[in-house]
Amino acid sequence: MNADVVIAKYKYGKANLEVLKKLGCKIVHEVDVHAMTQHPYLNTTKYDRIVYNFPHAGFQYSESNLSQIK
């Protein structure tokens, strides 16, 4: 999902992205873990850490309900 989707789906999405950027984090959206070596940016860059967040499940409403995120 791209930044616009993160901002639309998550209450603190925009604020979280801004904080990460201020901390110097490089945020790359829509990365397929199985095709990282073909990604135009990732295949030439070294990282200390790569974090894969749990993907959005596509529910219309908030995913805070435990039955939605099982």
pTM: 0.63
Per-residue pLDDT of the chain (70 residues; tens, 9 = 90+): 789 988 998 889 999 999 999 999 988 888 888 888 888 888 888 888 888 776 655 556 655 566 655 5
Helix (DSSP H) and strand (DSSP E) numbers for the chain: 2, 0
β strands within the chain, DSSP E: none
* Full residue range of the structural domain in which residue 10 is found: 1-69
pLDDT score, position 65: 60
Q: What share of the chain is helix, strand, coil (3-state, %, to 5)?
A: 35, 0, 65
pLDDT score, position 19: 97
Q: Residue 9 in contact with residue 1, Cβ under 8 Å?
A: yes
pLDDT score, position 18: 97
Farthest-apart Cα atoms in the chain, separation: 40
How many structural domains are present in the chain?
1
